[in-house]
Structure 1
Amino acid sequence: MTPYARALVAVALLVSLCSACVGLPDSGEVQVGDDRPTSAQDSGFPYDPRPPQKGEEPDEIVGHFLDAMLANPTTTAVAKQFLSSSARDSWHPDRQLITYDDILTPSGNDEVSVTLLGAHHLDARGVWRGELPERQRTLDFGMTIEDGEWRIDDPPDAMVVSDAFFDARYRQVFLYFLDPTAKVVVPEPVFVPTGGQLSAVLMRALLRGPGPDLRGVTRSYIPDDLTLDLTAPVSANGLAEVSLRGDAAPLDPESVQLMAVQVVWTLRQDPSVRRVRLTINDTPISVSGTSSDLDVAMGEQYNPVGPGAGRDLFALRDGRLVSQTGSGVVNQTGPFGTEAAGLEAIAVDLSGTRVAGVTSDGGSIRLAPVSGERERATTVFSGGTDLLKPSWDVSGRLWVVDRNSGNAEVSYVTRGRRHPVRVPGVTGENITRAIVSRDGTRLVAVLREPRQDRVVLSRLAVDGSRARGTRARVIHGDAEERTRINDIGWYSPTEVVLVRSLSDDLSQVTTFSVDGSRAVSSANVPVELVRDDIVSLVSSPVPETPTWAIAASGEVHELNAELDGTFPAEGLVSLTYAG
């Protein structure tokens, strides 16, 4: 680390000593404050940056400008003193937040350049956008002279802070919107400032909506243009009063229900909130059959993990479908349970009533009821080359990826019909694993490249029989690191579990957030080394569900020993949970 960077990081660490009692302004966007310190909420160790000094050179002005962004209480008052009079009015630091691991000493005169190392960025909504593009990692500051002193005349419209500062002052939370069918809520991770009133931070972020990138992927039932009236105070007995104002047309009962679901699912992240009193322009909003106070436990039927067969395992034994609840193994009575059907991988729908199986030649998928002696199996997908294990979503769509000799094709099957889906960054690529979230809005895939494997994410939008995927972006994997990923699975609705080989007899299992950030929220995250050649994972987004690692030899390893799960019975293969 450069001496200059060490100085800035030292400041950030000093501020973070009291990070638990320090806050930034109450906003879900990348808010950096205004000209006034928010002292009421930023109690704790203060840091008052030094304003411009007489005779400072351009590189010093820029260096101290970056330092001023670490002020506590949070304020841009000092930072703006390093800007020219015109730049103070045109600077918009809330448009982007940039973090860096290291920074090179500013250099230049009429234009000062600063190169950031290990830089990442977030947009104005607090959404993690991953690595800062290489061409943007050198920041240029146009300089001018005012009243005989150097000032910055063209600053980047961004807040630029060290990783240490960001880690201490921001947290990952989830905003809940609805999937296009309004069957389940969809969690969207964003970063918000720590400190302050969490309920107000969450509500302001939720009111901004899902953003244009998610058009067709999710939707909000909260009317546009509503704003939070001051704060969202929480009483001693856990009642959060959410007062919204703005132009809002009358809402039908279904929209009221779905809006309330969004609010309570989002606010339940604040441990002090037990009930919510929601008003629009002083008019109480209530859900049919309830009081005007909403219990934060309401709306469980919209859980993003969907309905389902719970924690039951499904598998093949001697080629026939079985299920395991606890230590008991049950032979299923459907077509795949009464006779071997030549399947190599199975996927059970979320209700636990239908099972799709990939045939042993990897070219077809057959569908049958899990139980029912007189039921029949049908072929719903044929002509494939190397089909991966499919995924079910809450709408009953069966998502299929055909590796197709390194030229992957994505599609989904519903009502016996196949619908191709173009997913830039996945379609036509060498894909070795793929999973779709239960809410049907996320496709996560392992992209095999010559030197390493990387994990990519695309958001899925389905409108009737038409579907599209956003361009896939990398959410896990270092381009400089040579690694092979053996399998991935869902660990929660917003986390993926991954296994990779370190050697012939050593594997590493870890989890990561679907946004690609460093944040991981689960309490029982398996991050460990397994002394075996792990080739597949059996996992579920349902909380408190054991995750199993399967070795090439067939040996099963438990990854959540604290959950005390019952080991799968001997002789079971193609293990899976519903989904």
Structure 2
Amino acid sequence: MGADPRRRGRRGALRMVALLGAGGVLAGCASMPDTGDIRPVKASPGADSEVQVYAVKPRKGAAADEIVNGFLEAMTSDDANFAIARTYLTPEASQKWRPDASTTVLETAPTAGRAAVGGVSTGTSYQLKGKQIAVVDSQHAFQASTTEAEDYDWTMHLSRQGGIEGKGEWRIDSPPPGLLLGASDFQRNYVSINKYYFAAAPGGAGETVVSDPVFIRQRMDPVTRMDPVTQSVNALLDGPTDWLDPVVDSRFPRGTALKSGVTSLAFDDRNVLKVPLNEKASNVGREQCKKMAAQISLTLRELSSTRVEQVELERSNGTQLCVLDSVEADGYAPDRASGKPVYPYFVDAKNRLAWLSGATKEAATPANVRGPFGDGQLPIGVVGVAHDEDTAAAVSKDFSSLYVSSIETDSQLAAPVVRSLGKTQDTRLSAPSWDGRKDLWIADRNPENPALLRLVGGKGTPQKVNVPLLGAARIESVKVSADGARVALLLTEHGKTTLKIGRVERGPKSNPVVTVAELEPAAPRMETVTAVSWAGPSRLVVVGKESGGVQQVRYIQTDGSTWDTGVLPGLNGVQSVAAADGEDRPLVAYSEDDGIVRLPAGANWQPIVEKGRAPVYPG
């Protein structure tokens, strides 16, 4: 996103901009000529997170448009409790205004124009307009707008305060709810983090964590006065977001919070973080406490530049509850898998399953797997490899049949576990996908009998998965997360293929029905998506294009946000893409022009196999 263009006509709204750590003010938001209008200067070039904005109070006798523009500027600052922003409001409006209730994000800073209502004696109104791209709610959850940005329109009323005969100071009595920011100011002020909760399982809680992405302030939170580390812990203790809540559990007892008055959590010289909790957590057992500490450790891992070596939880009286080190916390991560080196797999020129060794720095060397998928017994179309890398599922070259086999031992090809009666390849089976629970997922795209299927443990009778919000859309591709709590679906309807994320709800053991609930757009700005892969706990890599644009390969968060992701180097004719759960492995893709290629960190795409297709990482 570029910096928000500031509107002509904004007068007298000053804000000072400082570079953190530079020791002084670099520029004001407005130049001060000897004559003529005050013209605002762009406040956040390139949305630099190191730039901090300081709001300025309204001057005496300020015109109504100065009050409006000054308030809009003040909302972009870090001022404590937005005290200066409140000086632009009437006393009643200031008491009711809750800037922490929500943040509305527009493509650019809102425009303000006088509305054709009101008068000098009754006040005046301004219309705030823009293109809305998202809302961050009170749970810090990012909710992206639909494919096309939505129109935002809010009428803000001003009235005279004090004075006689309408000569008082203009103040706003109907501000927009929450904060209203342009994209660059939002990007400058907020950062995305992953909170972690335990996956709920039938008959009890699971032992794998699930990420819950939210946005927090990059610096001190103006309302709570908490630093980013403390904000993250506080958001974790508040519980999961509404969308994820039905499929996860927190190990913190209900009502657990930071000890009263705690607004700052700091690491000591051994990178140990002490977290004082209130009395609700004082009586938990040791094992439960360690799982609580693991949630904190994993949540802070991506935020802090300092490695969290140890988390120590304290009771409200200051005594120690438990201690957990980073190695123990790793044991709960959804990508812990088998501990084997993770290499990409692909289908070679002879329709056999092969894997690529040395796919990080040195040149990759293809080798066929053992068993019927690697020795030619089954001509393969597409494949999915289980997280333990002992087993794989392969769809036959004509896409009609699904087989499961070991890829570690020699064996004969067993009978297919799923068959499709679709009349053409693209109306038969999709590529298979494994979750971290060792369950196998696949879609039958037969229009006469479409189904999303799951095989528990990769074997037995396929179970049909309920997808109540699917409507007339057809599932083209299914990619389930390593934690098994979310699934990414490519859905085709009316000639367009879009990407949605669903929540995986599992029934009790007495009624083990699985449902994909509350499908949400994951790439709302893309008109069509042709390929997708999980690329971490809450990140996807997608191939697609925006309306009127060209094909892109880019990262997208599961909540639809794209900050701190960006478009990857261009690659023509991409048909499929694969990413590992960890960031230490390169992206791998299949291009019609270049075959199998990889994208190491900081480099461009590199050809590695000229004649191959359908690359996958375990999952």
TM-score range, shorter chain: 0.7 to 0.9
Aligned pair partner of 2:156 in 131, 141, 150: 141
- Alpha-carbon deviation of 1:79? 2.5
Aligned pair partner of 1:270 in 296, 300, 304: 304
- Structure 2 match to 1:279: 314
CA distance in 1, matches of 2:541, 2:52: 38
What is the TM-score with the length of structure 1 in the denominator? 0.82
CA distance in 1, matches of 2:51, 2:397: 63
- Alpha-carbon deviation of 1:111? 4.7
Write out per-residue CA displacement over residues 518-546 of structure 1, whole angstroms, 9 at most, x where no aligned residue: 2236xxx871112x422222332233212
Letter in 1 for 2:89: L
Write out per-residue CA displacement over residues 179-228 of structure 1, whole angstroms, 9 at most, x where no aligned residue: 22433222222111122433212211111111332122222111221221
SS, match of residue 476 in structure 1: coil
Write out per-residue CA displacement over residues 475-516 of structure 1, whole angstroms, 9 at most, x where no aligned residue: 32536xxx65332222323222223479xxx85322222221
- Alpha-carbon deviation of 1:451? 7.2
Cα 1:212–1:127 shift into 2, 3 Å: closer
- Structure 1 match to 2:33: none
The answer on whether the counterparts of 1:276 and 1:295 sit within 8 Å (CA) in structure 2 is: yes
- Structure 2 match to 1:538: 578
Write out per-residue CA displacement over residues 99-132 of structure 1, whole angstroms, 9 at most, x where no aligned residue: 2214222323355431122442111122211128
SS, match of residue 525 in structure 2: coil
Aligned pair partner of 1:359 in 396, 414, 427: 396
Whether 2:255 is the aligned partner of 1:241: answer: no
CA distance in 1, matches of 2:559, 2:449: 26
- Alpha-carbon deviation of 1:453? 4.3
After superposition, residues 288-303 of structure 1 pair within 5 angstroms as 292=323, 294-303=324-333
Letter in 1 for 2:172: I
CA distance in 2, matches of 1:463, 1:569: 44
Write out per-residue CA displacement over residues 447-491 of structure 1, whole angstroms, 9 at most, x where no aligned residue: 445575433222222234222223322232536xxx653322223
SS, match of residue 76 in structure 1: helix
CA distance in 2, matches of 1:74, 1:485: 43
Cα 1:43–1:448 shift into 2, 3 Å: closer
CA distance in 1, matches of 2:69, 2:611: 65
The size of the alignment, in residue pairs, is 542
CA distance in 1, matches of 2:77, 2:578: 47
SS, match of residue 187 in structure 2: helix
CA distance in 2, matches of 1:443, 1:384: 25
- Structure 2 match to 1:92: 98
- Structure 2 match to 1:184: 208
The answer on whether the counterparts of 1:434 and 1:446 sit within 8 Å (CA) in structure 2 is: yes
Cα 1:349–1:7 shift into 2, 3 Å: farther
Whether 2:122 is the aligned partner of 1:80: answer: no
Letter in 1 for 2:309: R
Extract unaligned runs of 5+ from structure 1. 23-41, 287-291
After superposition, residues 417-428 of structure 1 pair within 5 angstroms as 417-423=461-467, 425-426=469-470, 428=472
Whether 2:556 is the aligned partner of 1:512: answer: yes
Letter in 1 for 2:56: P
After superposition, residues 516-531 of structure 1 pair within 5 angstroms as 516-520=560-564, 527-530=568-571
- Structure 2 match to 1:129: 143
Aligned pair partner of 1:201 in 224, 231, 234: 231
What is the TM-score with the length of structure 2 in the denominator? 0.77
Whether 2:7 is the aligned partner of 1:4: answer: yes
Cα 1:578–1:46 shift into 2, 3 Å: closer
Write out per-residue CA displacement over residues 142-187 of structure 1, whole angstroms, 9 at most, x where no aligned residue: 5555435454333332111222222222112221112224332222
The answer on whether the counterparts of 1:97 and 1:159 sit within 8 Å (CA) in structure 2 is: yes
Whether 2:401 is the aligned partner of 1:369: answer: no
- Structure 2 match to 1:476: 523
- Structure 2 match to 1:399: 441
The answer on whether the counterparts of 1:358 and 1:389 sit within 8 Å (CA) in structure 2 is: yes
- Alpha-carbon deviation of 1:392? 0.5
Q: Structure 1 residues 62-71 or 437-446, which shifts more?
A: 62-71
Cα 1:21–1:382 shift into 2, 3 Å: farther
Whether 2:109 is the aligned partner of 1:68: answer: no
CA distance in 1, matches of 2:175, 2:488: 37
SS, match of residue 248 in structure 2: coil
Letter in 2 for 1:48: A
Cα 1:6–1:204 shift into 2, 3 Å: farther
Percent identity between the two aligned chains: 22
Cα 1:365–1:65 shift into 2, 3 Å: same
SS, match of residue 233 in structure 2: helix
- Alpha-carbon deviation of 1:430? 3.7
- Structure 1 match to 2:175: 155
The answer on whether the counterparts of 1:365 and 1:380 sit within 8 Å (CA) in structure 2 is: yes
CA distance in 2, matches of 1:115, 1:565: 42
- Alpha-carbon deviation of 1:571? 5.3
Whether 2:599 is the aligned partner of 1:559: answer: yes
After superposition, residues 36-47 of structure 1 pair within 5 angstroms as 47=54
CA distance in 2, matches of 1:126, 1:6: 33
- Alpha-carbon deviation of 1:270? 1.7
The answer on whether the counterparts of 1:458 and 1:471 sit within 8 Å (CA) in structure 2 is: yes
Write out per-residue CA displacement over residues 304-329 of structure 1, whole angstroms, 9 at most, x where no aligned residue: 22404532333445344444434555
Cα 1:473–1:107 shift into 2, 3 Å: farther
- Structure 2 match to 1:171: 191
CA distance in 1, matches of 2:489, 2:60: 53
SS, match of residue 266 in structure 1: helix
CA distance in 1, matches of 2:405, 2:388: 13
- Structure 1 match to 2:41: none
The answer on whether the counterparts of 1:216 and 1:463 sit within 8 Å (CA) in structure 2 is: no
The answer on whether the counterparts of 2:131 and 2:152 sit within 8 Å (CA) in structure 1 is: yes
After superposition, residues 490-501 of structure 1 pair within 5 angstroms as 490-500=534-544
- Structure 1 match to 2:533: 489
SS, match of residue 165 in structure 1: helix
SS, match of residue 444 in structure 1: strand
Cα 1:388–1:578 shift into 2, 3 Å: same
Whether 2:391 is the aligned partner of 1:388: answer: no
The answer on whether the counterparts of 1:546 and 1:563 sit within 8 Å (CA) in structure 2 is: no
Write out per-residue CA displacement over residues 350-389 of structure 1, whole angstroms, 9 at most, x where no aligned residue: 1112211223343432222224445662433234632211
- Structure 1 match to 2:134: 120
The answer on whether the counterparts of 1:52 and 1:64 sit within 8 Å (CA) in structure 2 is: no
- Structure 1 match to 2:616: 576
CA distance in 1, matches of 2:249, 2:393: 30
Whether 2:110 is the aligned partner of 1:103: answer: yes
The answer on whether the counterparts of 2:347 and 2:354 sit within 8 Å (CA) in structure 1 is: yes
- Alpha-carbon deviation of 1:349? 0.9
The answer on whether the counterparts of 1:409 and 1:428 sit within 8 Å (CA) in structure 2 is: no
CA distance in 1, matches of 2:567, 2:172: 48
Aligned pair partner of 1:409 in 432, 435, 451: 451
